[in-house]
Amino acid sequence: MIASSKIYPEKRRGIEKNVPLMLHIFFDKKRVSVFNTGFRCDIDIVKDGTMKQWDVDLQLMKRNQVNKQGQTSTTVNLKLNAIRGTVDTWAANNPNGTIDELLKELRTVAGKKEKVKVVEVETIYTLFDRFLKERKLSENRYEHYMVLKRCLERYEAHIKQPFIFDIDLYSFENYLSIEHTLRKNQKQRGTNTVIGLMSKLRSFFLWAVANGHITKNPFTKFKIEEAKYGTPYFLTIAERNHLYNFDFKKRKELAVQRDIFIFQCLVGCRVADLMRFTTANVIDGFIEYVAGKTSDENPTTIRVPLTETAKQIIERYKGGAVLLPFISETNYNLAIKEMFKISELNRSVTVLNTVTRKDEQRPLNEVASSHIARRTFVGNLYSKVQDPNIVGSLSGHVEGSRAFARYRKIDDDIKTRTINLIE
């Protein structure tokens, strides 16, 4: 067991004068208790942007300061160093010690006569773990929430101030937007990505309030901007068939991934669901599954009739543990770009730049990914049958999904071009 400690002014909303200095105690990097050192200081921000009496980096009072109790910084700092030193000494001599034993030592050093109450801190992270456990999310959704948790941990380290549930949402949202300037190998996040992370954080706080874990939701007065999406681009039926019939005899591994992509175009599932398919999902000529993205909120069985081409692809790869020989999602997306390039599916499409949020023209093969298969399924169905309920029952889109508004835009374009033919 490794014990460590840090001293922070107690963060109270709006209070910056005469704030208690609290010793946060960690066992193996997990906060286990908070000990009141018995000292106080002012933490209001002065002209140079720092706290008036507290040095965040040194975790001590600034020199030549006197707190409201008339204690000089020299006196306070000697005691604070003694308290922190006690943690280090105790940890070295008691590798299997308990928090109660450590607090007893601290009580003696701090000159406290009465037993200090052990504060079992429910942090945003421990509650977040409980939230994930109770929600029973799909593996893919779980990982998305873990990305958010890691962002929160890095943000707390960045501001050098622990928070329990009083997170400054404006500051955190800004951090998500600029983190690429603070960390190596961190890609710049688009606005929609930031919006998605903030929406997940809001879901956590709504759950925490609804289940009585906290009383105030910080999102009450915080508005999340609405995500902006471009008009969906997808393969026409002719382009899809061209890809399926293209000869990849010199790239047999690419031909396999091509077949999987075409199968996805014919059933419209998300890639996370595609990876889980086995022969058990094929029932009476249908592919049947519960979409992982909505399984924790509104689980609905999706049944899609298998076309002859889809059946041929299943037959071609029968005998494996899974329905189709899927590789990793990352390599699958790379293979899709490669097969588009080789088969010359490179027409120019309008895409939304996720950072600038402006339209730009890109070759189809450069922006192709697994999701274009799902859009190909939905887009071609919707151009034939403009009924979102029918298409939604096959794609798994929930009723009222905003996604269909974008496909209606495509439908309007088709109608306009058709009418222009008779001018």
Query: What's the CATH superfamily of 237-420?
Result: Intergrase catalytic core (1.10.443.10)
Residue at 223: amino acid letter = K
Q: What is the pLDDT of residue 242?
A: 97
Provide the H-helix boundaries in 95-211. Answer: 99-110, 124-135, 139-159, 169-178, 191-210
Residue at 98: amino acid letter = T
Separation of alpha carbons 147 and 165, rounded Å: 18
Angle at Cα 270 formed by Cα 269 and Cα 276, nearest 5°?
85
Which tens digits make up the pLDDT trace of 93-128?
Answer: 888 888 888 988 898 888 775 554 555 567 888 899
Residue 365 near residue 340 (C-beta atoms within 8 A): yes
Residue 189 near residue 176 (C-beta atoms within 8 A): yes
Separation of alpha carbons 371 and 273, rounded Å: 12
Shared fold status for 124-221 and 237-420 = no
Which tens digits make up the pLDDT trace of 12-55?
Answer: 666 888 999 999 998 887 888 889 999 999 988 888 888 889 99
Q: What is the pLDDT of residue 28?
A: 82
**Residue 154 half-sphere exposure, CB side, CA atoms within 13 Å?**
15
Whole-angstrom CA distances from 127 to 122, 209, 212 are 7, 11, 12
What strands, in cross-sheet order, belong to the sheet with 30-41? 3-9, 19-27, 30-41
Q: What is the pLDDT of residue 421?
A: 59
Q: What is the pLDDT of residue 116?
A: 46
In which residue ranges of the chain is pLDDT below 70? 1, 12-14, 113-121, 138, 292-299, 386-388, 397-423
Q: What is the pLDDT of residue 189?
A: 92
Q: Would you kindly state where each structural domain of the chain is located, as residue ranges? A: 3-110, 124-221, 237-420
Which tens digits make up the pLDDT trace of 300-331?
Answer: 788 999 999 999 999 999 988 889 998 888 89
Q: What is the pLDDT of residue 293?
A: 63
Cβ partners under 8 Å of residue 266, min gap 6: 306, 307, 309, 310, 377
pTM above 0.85, yes or no: no
- CATH number corresponding to 124-221: 1.10.150.130
- Rg of the chain over CA atoms, in angstroms? 29
- Token pair of 305, please? 């009739």
Separation of alpha carbons 402 and 267, rounded Å: 21
